[in-house]
Amino acid sequence: MKKFIAMLSAVFGLFMLGVFSQPQIQAASEKTYTIDTDVTFPPFVYANTENKYVGIDLDLLRAIAKEEGFKVKIRPVGFNAAVQSVSAGQADGMIAGMSITEERKQKFDFSDPYYSAGIVMAVKDGSGIKSLSELKGKKVAVKTGTAGADYANSIKDKYGFEIVTFDDSDGVYNDVINGNSAACFEDSAVMYYAIKNGLDLKVVTKPANTTETGFAVKKGQNQELLKMFNEGLAKLKANGEYDKIIKKYTEGKATSKTKVKSQTETAEDRTVLGILKENKDAFISGIIETLKLTVVGIFCATIFGIFVGLLGVVPNKFCRGLSTTIIYIFRGLPLIVLALFIYNGVPSLIGSKVPAFLAGVITLMLNEGAYTAAFVKGGIESVDKGQMEAARSLGMPFGKSMRRVILPQGIKIMVPSFINQFIITLKDTSILSVIGLLELTQTGKIIIARNLEGFRVWAIVAVIYLVIITVLTLLSKWIERRINN
Amino acid sequence: MADLKVDVTNLKKNYGSNQVLKGIDFKVANNEVVVLIGPSGSGKSTLLRCLNKLEEPTSGSIVIDGHDISDPKTNIDKARENIGMVFQHFNLFNNLSVGENIMLAPVELGKANKDEAMTTAKQLLETVGLADKFDAMPASLSGGQKQRVAIARALAMNPDIMLFDEPTSALDPEMVGDVLEVMKDLAKDGMTMVVVTHEMGFAKEVADRVVFMAEGHVVEEGRPEAIFEDPQNERTKAFLEKVINI
């Protein structure tokens, strides 16, 4: 039995070594900074029709970087994930139409403001609501963590409305369009940009609580980057580049020519086929990322799960306790909490970055692995005890008995659970969009942020998932038949 | 002591606060056939299972073939190679054919190569009257056939002693005879055997010694004629009356 444990440990050790000892590639002549952003936030940051990340923020950032001679690596992780990555040191800075607030100043150092905007209230065209006082007893949609949300919170008691929060702007707008919420609060620039692009909402208030928008780094960190940003911004303002960029994104609507053009473009693109064609590359790279996560995740989770499951049946109290504890913890934790913990929590503990893909794979390995371990353990335990007794009574050691007698019978019992777990793993990769992995779900979010076609894009994403799941199921059934023969 | 196959001294076994064996002394000589009888819950199966350490004894010493298997330093797997065991519920390996069931342990433990093991397996199947079942799967066999394969499987390791834990209790009545026949042949060939059974006929005919257990004690033991015809202890009498009058 000791041999058996030693063998398992060796296999697992080698495996972990493989996972964690990825070579750190670090070669930079010009310093590269990792900047996190939220690409569902036009006009500050969004993906254009060529799926390039553009907007006021990124155009400014790139111009500044060019001016000051540094490089940036943009990661479209989403606003909350960006806030957490910068706090955890996973990213050097963030730029995402971020309002400068006293609360945020506790954790971040901000650049000089590069834009100032106010919060406006928007309602469904024709809803008849014209002022804040008409919101009493109604629902109001906001995007979490935005200045719009803060503003809504500050006045909700006064006006007696209820707040509904969403993770992305599309969710906010749709809630208003669908009539679930009576209004939404959003940054004026964001709101005007969205309406300009065909969103069926109407701004009914003047900008309130004007706030300044800034580039942020973790408090006390990356001061040289902050200095360069400020210097670069000053230069851009002096040479007129700054005004050009701002106008490009907020005043384009003034000319009727561009409006007409954008409308005809829009009409062509709004069919499912049009959306697919236009975003082909984005969908393909999203599918590839999802598949990569799924395959590597399933592989790691299966090995980890089998290891922990077997640990749960060896005749050693410590091993069994360890197995039960691992299953208890990682099956008990919601996947999203585990992902955020590994990606944003662990780096501040160990003092080095965890790449998002690795964090995603570890999350899947631990969570899906815990479920796998539970049914591996259950499968083995469901093999009649007499089988093990008979094998042991012949003088066969525990490991041999396990391998030749118990496992072949247990695996047959486990096969349907494995297939089920593979499918769950595939679906769970979508949750990893919270740590900014550009998989299929995150891809969908980004595309919707630009074209606001929630229904069609999510339908496309759903169908893609179903297709992948069908292929995965067929593959698993084929393996199942092979095992049973 | 060379002739003593089994030497159990003051064996105790507790399950929590429940003491199942309350200080058993139990010896088996070479070539001896001992039958353990007694009411259910008397501890006879537990005693048998302690002899190859399927049950961990709470205290006391168990010496089999000169090896103290109650000593944690003793390699129990090595000791078990010489102790064959047959279970009430056969416990044939469901994932393996009859032939593979018999060949598995000798090949895995390096006692024989595949060809030798196959020859042995076929011979053993012939002795138990199942020569044609080499390739059959356990699920296709009747209970009596399964038990005879289980005996052949235990014999394939060429053990010095065979333990039988109620080998006929799970069988349909018409199957019992075949299994008992195989066991009688084994006894005649001089195999040392410890048998837990309710087959009093078998005990009378084959046993060199009958041990009657009750409530975790050895109550009475002796030649089968003595135990069955002239039991000394009240509990033995009561038990035999019930069993024989059925």
* Chain B residues near residue A389 by CB distance under 8 angstroms: 54, 87, 91
Whether A483 and chain B come into contact, CB under 8 Å, resolves to no
CA distance A303 to chain B (A): 23
* Inter-chain CB proximity B150 and A390 less than 8 Å: yes
Whether A400 and chain B come into contact, CB under 8 Å, resolves to yes
Q: Which CATH class is domain A116-211?
A: alpha beta
CA distance A384 to chain B (A): 8
CA distance A2 to chain B (A): 12
Phi/psi at A16 (nearest 5 deg)? -65, -40
Residue A35, burial from CB neighbour count under 10 angstroms (0-12, 13-18, 19+): buried
CA distances from B27 to A199, B30, B63, B160, B210 (A): 93, 10, 9, 15, 12
Query: A170-182 burial string, b = 16+ CB within 10 Å, else e?
Result: bbbbbbbbeeebb
Structure-block tokens of residue B171:
């069988």
A413's CB contacts (< 8 A; 6+ apart) are A379, A382, A383
Same fold yes or no, A31-114+214-254 and A116-211: yes
Is the pLDDT assigned to residue B121 strictly greater than 70?
Answer: yes
pLDDT at A257: 33
User: Which residues 114-143 of A are in CB contact (within 8 Å) with B?
Assistant: none
Residue A394 DSSP SS3? coil
pLDDT at A353: 78
Partner-chain residue, chosen from A393, A396, A405, that has the shortest CB–CB distance to B95: A405
Whether A389 and chain B come into contact, CB under 8 Å, resolves to yes
* Domain A31-114+214-254 CATH (choose: 3.40.190.10, 3.30.70.100, 3.40.50.720, 3.40.50.1000): 3.40.190.10
Summarised one tens digit per residue, pLDDT across range A299-355 is 999 999 999 999 999 989 999 999 999 999 999 999 999 998 998 888 778 877 788
pLDDT at A482: 84
* Inter-chain CB proximity B105 and A390 less than 8 Å: no
Partner-chain residue, chosen from A389, A397, A404, that has the shortest CB–CB distance to B87: A389
Whether A80 and chain B come into contact, CB under 8 Å, resolves to no
The residue in chain A having the minimum alpha-carbon distance to the alpha carbon of residue B153 is: A394
Mean residue pLDDT across chain B: 93
- In chain A, where the domains are located: 2-21+279-484, 31-114+214-254, 116-211
Chain B interface, best mutation among A317, A393, A485, by max B CB count within 10 A: A393
Q: Which residues of B touch A (CB under 8 A)?
A: 52, 54, 77-85, 87, 89-96, 104-105, 108-109, 150, 153-154, 157
* Inter-chain CB proximity B104 and A396 less than 8 Å: yes
Cα–Cα distance between A56 and A44 in angstroms, integer? Answer: 5
pTM over 0.95: no
Partner-chain residue, chosen from A386, A392, A395, that has the shortest CB–CB distance to B78: A395
Partner-chain residue, chosen from A389, A397, A404, that has the shortest CB–CB distance to B104: A404
* Inter-chain CB proximity B109 and A409 less than 8 Å: no
pLDDT at B152: 96
Is the pLDDT assigned to residue B8 strictly greater than 80?
Answer: yes
Q: Residue ranges of chain A with pLDDT lower than 50?
A: 17-28, 252-268
Q: Residue A46 has what DSSP assignment?
A: E
Cα–Cα distance between A339 and A248 in angstroms, integer? Answer: 38
Cα–Cα distance between B42 and A433 in angstroms, integer? Answer: 63
Whether A393 and chain B come into contact, CB under 8 Å, resolves to yes
* Domain A2-21+279-484 CATH (choose: 1.10.3720.10, 3.40.50.10070, 3.40.50.280, 1.10.150.130): 1.10.3720.10
Q: Give me the DSSP letters along A414-439.
A: HHHHHHHHHHHHHHHGGGGGGGT--S
Tokens 């009750």 map to which residue?
Answer: B214
Band of residue B176 on the pLDDT scale cut at 50, 70, 90: very high
The residue in chain A having the minimum alpha-carbon distance to the alpha carbon of residue B51 is: A393
* Chain A residues near residue B94 by CB distance under 8 angstroms: 387, 409
* Chain A residues near residue B95 by CB distance under 8 angstroms: 405, 408-409
Is the pLDDT assigned to residue B225 strictly greater than 70?
Answer: yes
* Chain A residues near residue B96 by CB distance under 8 angstroms: 405
CA distance A480 to chain B (A): 16
pLDDT at A12: 54
pLDDT at B28: 95
Summarised one tens digit per residue, pLDDT across range B232-244 is 999 999 999 888 7
pLDDT at A264: 37
Q: Residue A343 has what DSSP assignment?
A: I
* Inter-chain CB proximity A394 and B94 less than 8 Å: no
Q: Give me the DSSP letters along A92-110.
A: SEE-SS-B--HHHHTTEEE
* Inter-chain CB proximity B104 and A395 less than 8 Å: no
Cα–Cα distance between B78 and B57 in angstroms, integer? Answer: 18
